[in-house]
């Protein structure tokens, strides 16, 4: 395989146009000057005969070129997702995460499933540099940025760049940049001491208001302060708390990262985490080219071209908050997260008010009485199992993991299914192929589960951006989601349960139907279903339903694929927000859907719910406490509510409990 150098004609056009969309995707070396530049370099274009293009800064450095002092290659976003084969991409992510700082290449090669010689050969072929050269270039460029943008002493710059010896740092910098560190420091403009401010580049566009709005809705008091101007949060690395502040850089495709007092050796990790949090290394040009053939997605891209996938500061925090948010609203999940931090998080008396807390560690939650937060027993047990697995190293968010391995480790824990596992991989690992295909919002927008399946199978980098892209794209008025051609046959199983026989039908996109022994509305096409009790999603749904009915869980984690109109899907999605053990009236449901004057229409959509129990339409009752109706019969509805601790407060007549399903109106 040849080195992944971009097409020469395309590189020439991008360089002459100073096209920021190609920033970091290649570097131009100029033989007459001995330097290498970004495509956006403001210097006059060199003669074509003097130009060579390289896929990475490390390749240009390995060829003997120095980084430009004008365009500053250290500010370029990374392009790891599009360089080389999977093993090389994983190695790149691990190197960027510091894998070679203290470990030999052999350990890295073992982690990606290659011998050290194979990894070295593939890196040279595909990146133009060895793993050690890639690591060395990372360190050199970070040091160059710190020398240029901060007042850190040279000794602390050396520590931040991973050098324990000032002599070795000086020698490496002289070799890579053609001057000693002190000479570069003399050339830069004066910068204030104290708080560090670093520039973080990205390829346009970035919809920062949308990103900040997403983070603001989920901000935890005491840890985060997010508004339209930026994101401020407490960070706690190795027991030392500090505050970071991220905001937009005026008139530049950059963010400004301000770091409070911290150990200089933590700076590389802070920079990596902030870049992941804001998805700064995404190549939206490649993502859009992959998604644009789909008309719905093309329209969404045109409307919001800068949408990116929000990451997370800490993998454990993302996982805990994903579990807290199972089947409740964003606001409800944020409330639970605030309680969790208040009772179990760290407190830092020396920090400013309002930014003086830190998220609990796995050790702090492994044996914590989380039921006191108002969580169902099953969900509290899930969080403790998650914390124990992270504390023992069985589950982690380190770079370079294979997605199937991470998903398997997550779903081995009780109460965590494929949706949660893929959501965590998408936000905590920034894994390009992680995709929560069972998300109801995605199904509402894309219009057919087959589209989700196709996108999930698509091996393009950045495909997870669809998730956030679609969340912001409204559905066209009147678009209906039923009646599309089925791409796969539904598999089903019928099994006994404490409330009578239940049937579950699913395909590879998600669970489509849950049926009682008697139903007001039967499923269309049921006669063509194939009985297959061992189909993965059929088995998972059966196990989770029985676990719930025997008191073992209060929520579900299944990919769902109901078919309905946009209005019906919005009602069904809202049903998932009703907490375990609580009930809403039809008026409350209509209010939550955003249609307060449409209680009757909301009730009709509630009655058409194809996934009862999982989407808990049984928790919707009359305003006077009456059970009203239910597609599986009122005795079933009463049994489900009593299982969750509900007791009648009047209005339900004994004879109503045994009304036939055909006589029921709603529910």
Domain of 80, CATH number, reads 1.10.10.60
- Check if the beta carbon of residue 89 is closer than 8 Å to that of residue 83: yes
Q: Cα(125)–Cα(120) distance, rounded to whole angstroms? A: 9
- Check if the beta carbon of residue 389 is closer than 8 Å to that of residue 409: yes
Predicted confidence at residue 6, as pLDDT, reads 64
Task: Give the percent of the chain with pLDDT over 90.
Answer: 53
Residue 545 lies in a domain: no
Q: Are residues 65 and 37 in the same domain?
A: yes
Buried b (16+ CB within 10 A) or exposed e, 228-237: eebbbbbbbb
Dihedral angle over CA of 273, 277, 283, 286, nearest 10: 130
Predicted confidence at residue 143, as pLDDT, reads 97
Q: Are residues 64 and 150 in the same domain?
A: yes
Q: Flag whether the pTM goes above 0.75.
A: no
Q: Are residues 31 and 168 in the same domain?
A: yes
When divided into structural domains, the chain yields a total of 4
Q: Are residues 129 and 10 in the same domain?
A: yes
CA distances from 338 to 120, 314, 317, 345, 352 (A): 47, 16, 12, 9, 18
Buried b (16+ CB within 10 A) or exposed e, 413-447: bbbbbbbbbbbbbbbbbbbbbbbbbbbbebbbbbb
CA distances from 498 to 247, 362, 495 (A): 55, 36, 10
The enclosing H or E element of 505 equals: strand 502-507
Residue 118 lies in a domain: yes
Residue 137 lies in a domain: yes
**Sequential DSSP letters for 637-666:** HHHHHHHTT----S---TGGGG--GGG---
Q: Are residues 29 and 168 in the same domain?
A: yes
The per-residue pLDDT for range 12-65, each reduced to its tens digit, is 988 998 889 899 999 999 999 999 999 999 999 999 899 999 999 999 999 999
From the CA atom positions of the chain, what is the Rg in Å? 27
Predicted confidence at residue 598, as pLDDT, reads 87
At residue 611, the 3 state secondary structure works out as coil
Q: Are residues 4 and 126 in the same domain?
A: yes
Residue 488 lies in a domain: no
The 8-class DSSP code of residue 257 comes to E
- Check if the beta carbon of residue 310 is closer than 8 Å to that of residue 468: yes
Q: Are residues 47 and 96 in the same domain?
A: yes
**CATH assignment of the domain containing 232:** 3.30.310.20
**CATH assignment of the domain containing 645:** 1.10.10.10
Of the candidates 399, 429, 459, which is a domain's last residue?
A: 429
> Smallest Cα–Cα separation from 436: which of 423, 446, 448, 449?
423
Residue 633 region by backbone torsions, left for phi larger than 0, else alpha for psi between -120 and 50, else beta: left
Q: Are residues 137 and 240 in the same domain?
A: no
The segments of the chain whose pLDDT lies below 70 read 1-6, 80-82, 189-194, 294-297, 299-300, 438-488, 522, 524, 648-667
Q: Are residues 182 and 223 in the same domain?
A: no
**Over the chain, what is the mean pLDDT?**
84
> Smallest Cα–Cα separation from 58: which of 161, 129, 164?
129
Q: Are residues 168 and 235 in the same domain?
A: no
Within 262-410, strands assigned E span 346-347, 357-358
Q: Are residues 148 and 267 in the same domain?
A: no
Q: 311 burial class (0-12, 13-18, 19+ CB within 10 angstroms)?
A: buried
- Check if the beta carbon of residue 126 is closer than 8 Å to that of residue 56: no
Q: Are residues 129 and 41 in the same domain?
A: yes
Residue 289 lies in a domain: no
Dihedral angle over CA of 479, 484, 488, 493, nearest 10: 80
Residue 218 lies in a domain: yes
Residue 541 lies in a domain: no
**Structural domain that includes position 417:** 315-350+358-429
- Check if the beta carbon of residue 511 is closer than 8 Å to that of residue 473: no
Of the candidates 190, 211, 243, which is a domain's last residue?
A: 190
- Cα 412–Cα 433–Cα 463 angle in degrees, nearest 5: 145
**CATH assignment of the domain containing 323:** 1.10.340.30
- Check if the beta carbon of residue 469 is closer than 8 Å to that of residue 439: no
Q: Cα(604)–Cα(25) distance, rounded to whole angstroms? A: 53
- The strands making up 502-507's β-sheet, listed across from edge to edge, are 510-515, 502-507, 491-495, 530-531
Q: What are the structure tokens assigned to 382, written together?
A: 């899930």
Predicted confidence at residue 443, as pLDDT, reads 58
- The end-to-end CA distance of the chain, in Å, is 61
Of the candidates 402, 429, 456, which is a domain's last residue?
A: 429
Q: At what angle do helices 330-344 and 315-324 cross, to 10 degrees?
A: 120
Active-site residue list: 617
Residue 109 lies in a domain: yes
Predicted confidence at residue 7, as pLDDT, reads 79
């Amino acid at each position: 395989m040849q080195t992944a150098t971009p097409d020469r004609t395309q590189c020439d056009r991008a360089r002459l146009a100073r096209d920021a969309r190609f920033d970091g995707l290649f570097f131009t070396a100029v033989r007459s000057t001995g330097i290498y530049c970004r495509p956006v370099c403001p210097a006059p274009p060199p003669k074509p005969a003097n130009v060579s293009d390289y896929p990475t800064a490390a390749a240009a450095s390995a060829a003997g070129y120095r980084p430009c002092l004008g365009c500053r290659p250290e500010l370029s976003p990374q392009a790891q997702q599009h360089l080389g084969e999977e093993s090389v991409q994983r190695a790149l992510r691990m190197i960027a995460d510091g894998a070679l700082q203290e470990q030999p290449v052999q350990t890295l090669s073992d982690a990606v499933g290659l011998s050290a010689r194979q990894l070295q050969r593939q890196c040279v072929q595909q990146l133009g540099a060895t793993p050690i050269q890639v690591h060395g270039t990372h360190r050199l460029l970070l040091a160059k940025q710190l020398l240029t943008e901060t007042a850190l002493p040279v000794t602390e710059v050396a520590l931040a760049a991973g050098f324990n010896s000032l002599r070795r740092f000086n020698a490496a910098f002289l070799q890579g940049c053609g001057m000693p560190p002190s000479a570069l420091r003399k050339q830069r403009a004066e910068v204030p001491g104290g708080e560090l401010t670093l520039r973080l580049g990205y390829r346009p566009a970035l919809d920062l208001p949308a990103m900040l709005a997403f983070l603001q809705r989920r901000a935890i008091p005491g840890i985060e302060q997010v508004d339209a101007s930026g994101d401020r949060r407490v960070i706690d690395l190795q027991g030392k708390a500090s505050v970071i502040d991220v905001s937009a850089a005026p008139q530049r495709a950059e963010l400004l990262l301000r770091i409070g007092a911290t150990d200089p050796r933590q700076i590389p990790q802070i920079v990596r985490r902030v870049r992941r949090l804001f998805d700064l290394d995404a190549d939206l040009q490649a993502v859009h080219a992959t998604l644009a053939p789909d008309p719905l997605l093309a329209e969404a891209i045109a409307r919001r071209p800068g949408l990116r996938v929000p990451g997370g500061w800490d993998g454990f925090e993302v996982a805990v908050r994903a579990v807290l948010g199972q089947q409740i609203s964003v606001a409800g999940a944020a409330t639970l997260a605030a309680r969790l931090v208040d009772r179990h998080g760290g407190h830092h008396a020396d920090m400013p008010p309002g930014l003086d807390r830190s998220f609990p560690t796995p050790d702090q939650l492994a044996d914590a009485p989380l039921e006191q937060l108002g969580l169902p027993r099953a969900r509290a047990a899930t969080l403790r199992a998650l914390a124990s697995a992270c504390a023992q190293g069985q589950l982690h968010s380190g770079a370079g993991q294979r997605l199937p391995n991470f998903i398997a480790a997550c779903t081995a824990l009780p109460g965590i299914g494929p949706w949660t596992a893929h959501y965590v991989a998408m936000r905590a690992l920034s894994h390009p192929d992680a995709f929560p295909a069972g998300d109801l919002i995605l199904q509402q927008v894309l219009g057919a589960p087959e589209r989700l399946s196709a996108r999930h199978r698509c091996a393009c980098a950045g495909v997870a951006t669809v998730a956030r892209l679609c969340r912001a794209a409204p559905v066209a008025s009147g678009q209906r989601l039923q009646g599309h051609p089925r791409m796969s046959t539904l598999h089903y199983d019928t099994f006994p349960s404490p409330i009578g026989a239940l049937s579950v039908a699913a395909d590879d996109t998600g669970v489509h139907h849950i049926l009682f022994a008697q139903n007001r509305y039967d499923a269309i096409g049921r006669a063509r279903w194939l009985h297959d009790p061992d189909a993965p999603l059929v088995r998972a749904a059966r196990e989770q339903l029985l676990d719930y009915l025997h008191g073992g869980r209060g929520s579900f984690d299944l990919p769902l694929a109901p078919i309905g109109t946009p209005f019906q899907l919005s009602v069904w999605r809202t049903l998932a927000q009703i907490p375990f053990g609580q009930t809403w009236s039809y008026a409350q449901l209509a209010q939550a859907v955003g249609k307060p004057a449409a209680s009757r229409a909301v009730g009709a959509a509630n009655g058409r719910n194809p996934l009862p129990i999982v989407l808990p339409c049984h928790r919707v009752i009359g305003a006077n406490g009456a059970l009203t109706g239910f597609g599986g019969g009122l005795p079933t509805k009463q049994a489900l509510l009593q299982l969750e601790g509900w007791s009648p407060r009047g209005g339900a007549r004994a004879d109503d409990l045994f009304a036939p399903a055909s006589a029921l109106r709603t529910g």
